[in-house]
Amino acid sequence: AQTVTQSQPEMSVQEAETVTLSCTYDTSESDYYLFWYKQPPSRQMILVIRQEAYKQQNATENRFSVNFQKAAKSFSLKISDSQLGDAAMYFCAYRSAGQIIFGKGTRLHILP
């Protein structure tokens, strides 16, 4: 069975600095998708970034980028130039077919 592990329950970063959130996953499949979702206090699930497993190039979306290491089954999220609005729960997620499997989340605090 596939699993997603986020080993950092909470992290803090100074505003304008860079922070990296860790995620590892376990699967025996070769074709799948990985996501990072943001959940602010409103509880809305917002897709931050996605990565197709067959692509070697790391995905980037403005200040958000990933370090995808397929052999190591690692998928970390880097947030550059952190802003107060980035404060939220961040969930790493995996999907092959059908359901998405989520990690337990990392709560990110932004220090002014």
Partner 1 sequence: NAGVMQNPRHLVRRRGQEARLRCSPMKGHSHVYWYRQLPEEGLKFMVYLQKENIIDESGMPKERFSAEFPKEGPSILRIQQVVRGDSAAYFCASSPRRGPDSYEQYFGPGTRLTVT
Binding region for partner 1 (CB under 8 A) out of 18-26, 58-66, 75-83, 92-100: 92-100
Question: HEC string of 48-84?
Answer: EEEEECCCCCCCEECCEEEEEECCCCEEEEEECCCCH
| Total residues in contact with partner 1, by rule CB under 8 A | 21
Q: Decide: is 102 part of the binding site for partner 1 (CB under 8 A).
A: yes
- Which of 13/105 has CB closer to partner 1? 105
C-alpha torsion 57→110→40→58, nearest 10 = 0
Q: Which of 63, 70, 78, 95 binds partner 1 (CB under 8 A)?
A: 95
Q: Does 54 engage in binding with partner 1 (CB under 8 A)?
A: no
- Based on CB atoms, which residue is closest to partner 1, 86 or 90? 90
Q: Chain-centre distance of CA 25, in angstroms?
A: 11
How far is the C-alpha of 68 from the C-alpha of 54, rounded, in Å?
11
CB atoms inside a 10 Å sphere around CB 77 = 24
Applying CB under 8 A, the residues found at the interface with partner 1 are 4, 33, 35, 37, 42-45, 47, 50, 52, 91, 95, 98-105
